Amino acid sequence: MTEPPSPPAATLWPDKKSLVRQLLEVSRLLEVLGAEPYRAAAYAGAARRLEAYEGDLTPLLEAGRLTEVRGVGPGVAAAVEALRGRGAPQLPLLEALYAEVPEGVLGLLRVAGLGPKKVRALWQAGIADLDALLAAAGDGRLAKVRGFGAKSAAAVTAAARFALEARERERLDEAEVRAARFEALCKTLAPEATLERAGELRRALETVGALSFVVTGLPVTVLAERLASLGATPSEGGELHLSFEGRPLELWCADAEALGAALACRTGSEAFVAALAAHAAAKGLRLTPAGLLRGETLLPTPTEAALWTQLGLPMVPPERREGGLVGDEALVTLTDIRGLVHNHTTWSDGACSLDEMVAAARALGYRYLALADHSRTSYYANGLSVERVFEQARAVARLREALDRDGADFKVLHGLEVDILPDGSLDYPDEVLAKLDYTVISVHQHFTLDKVKQTERLVRAVQHPYASILGHLTGRLLLRRPPYEVDVMAVLAACAEAGTVVEINANPRRLDLDWRLVARAKALGCRFAIDPDAHHVDGYHDLRYGVLMARKAGLSAIDVVNTAPDAGAFLARLKPSRAPVGG
Of 164-172, 207-215, 392-400, 528-536: span binding Zn ion (CB under 5 A): 528-536
Sketch the per residue contact string, 67 through 106, with Zn ion: x for CB under 5 A, - otherwise: ----------------------------------------
Residues of this chain, 417-456, that bind Zn ion according to CB under 5 A: 417, 442
Cα distance between residue 574 and residue 413, in whole Å:
13
Q: Which residue number, 170 or 417, has a Cβ lying nearer to Zn ion?
A: 417
Q: What is the nearest approach in angstroms of Zn ion to the Cβ of residue 159? A: 23
Q: Which residue number, 442 or 455, has a Cβ lying nearer to Zn ion?
A: 442
Q: Yes or no: say if 322 and 549 are a contact pair by the CB < 8 Å rule.
A: no
Degrees to nearest 5, angle at CA 205 with 291 and 339 = 120
Q: Which residue number, 43 or 570, has a Cβ lying nearer to Zn ion?
A: 570
Q: Which residue number, 322 or 512, has a Cβ lying nearer to Zn ion?
A: 512
SS3 state at 422: coil
- Burial track 424-455 (b if 16+ CB lie within 10 A, e otherwise): bebbbeeebbeebbbbbbbbbeeeebeeebbb
DSSP character string of 342-370? EE--TTTT-SS-HHHHHHHHHHTT-SEEE
As a dihedral over the C-alpha atoms of residue 310, residue 311, residue 315, residue 321, rounded to 10 degrees, the angle is -140
Q: What is the nearest approach in angstroms of Zn ion to the Cβ of residue 132? A: 37
Q: Which residue number, 304 or 373, has a Cβ lying nearer to Zn ion?
A: 373
Q: What is the nearest approach in angstroms of Zn ion to the Cβ of residue 183? A: 33
Please write down the HEC assignment for all residues of 188-205. HHCCCCEEEECHHHHCCC
Contacts of 407 (CB under 8 A, 6+ apart): none
Contacts of 144 (CB under 8 A, 6+ apart): none
Q: What is the nearest approach in angstroms of Zn ion to the Cβ of residue 380? A: 12
SS3 state at 249: strand
Q: What is the nearest approach in angstroms of Zn ion to the Cβ of residue 477? A: 11
Residues of this chain, 252-311, that bind Zn ion according to CB under 5 A: none
Cα distance between residue 111 and residue 23, in whole Å:
19
Q: Which residue number, 168 or 349, has a Cβ lying nearer to Zn ion?
A: 349
Cα distance between residue 110 and residue 168, in whole Å:
14
Residue 268, φ and ψ in degrees, nearest 5: 75, -160
Q: Which residue number, 304 or 533, has a Cβ lying nearer to Zn ion?
A: 533
Cα distance between residue 129 and residue 102, in whole Å:
9
Q: Which residue number, 377 or 442, has a Cβ lying nearer to Zn ion?
A: 442
Residues of this chain, 532-551, that bind Zn ion according to CB under 5 A: 533
DSSP character string of 100-113? HS-HHHHHHHTSTT
Residues of this chain, 160-179, that bind Zn ion according to CB under 5 A: none
Of 103-111, 506-514, 525-533, 546-554: span binding Zn ion (CB under 5 A): 525-533
Q: Yes or no: say if 272 and 200 are a contact pair by the CB < 8 Å rule.
A: no
Q: What is the nearest approach in angstroms of Zn ion to the Cβ of residue 444? A: 6
- CA R_g for the chain: 27
Q: Which residue number, 215 or 354, has a Cβ lying nearer to Zn ion?
A: 354
Q: What is the nearest approach in angstroms of Zn ion to the Cβ of residue 221? A: 52
- Burial track 371-387 (b if 16+ CB lie within 10 A, e otherwise): bbbbbbbbeebbbbeee
Residue 438, φ and ψ in degrees, nearest 5: -170, 170
Q: Which residue number, 31 or 533, has a Cβ lying nearer to Zn ion?
A: 533
Q: How many residues bind Zn ion (CB under 5 A)?
A: 3
- Burial track 184-220 (b if 16+ CB lie within 10 A, e otherwise): eebeeebeebbbbbbbbbbbbbbbbbbbbbbbbebeb
Q: What is the nearest approach in angstroms of Zn ion to the Cβ of residue 510? A: 9
Q: Which residue number, 207 or 345, has a Cβ lying nearer to Zn ion?
A: 345
Q: What is the nearest approach in angstroms of Zn ion to the Cβ of residue 171? A: 18
Residues of this chain, 363-422, that bind Zn ion according to CB under 5 A: 417
Handedness of CA 276, 282, 286, 291 (dihedral sign): negative
Largest Cα–Cα distance in the chain?
82
Q: What is the nearest approach in angstroms of Zn ion to the Cβ of residue 372? A: 6
Residues of this chain, 554-583, that bind Zn ion according to CB under 5 A: none
Q: What is the nearest approach in angstroms of Zn ion to the Cβ of residue 343? A: 8
Q: Which residue number, 47 or 341, has a Cβ lying nearer to Zn ion?
A: 341
Q: Which residue number, 310 or 442, has a Cβ lying nearer to Zn ion?
A: 442
Q: What is the nearest approach in angstroms of Zn ion to the Cβ of residue 419? A: 9
Cα distance between residue 362 and residue 17, in whole Å:
32
Q: What is the nearest approach in angstroms of Zn ion to the Cβ of residue 473? A: 11
* Interface with Zn ion (CB under 5 A): 417, 442, 533
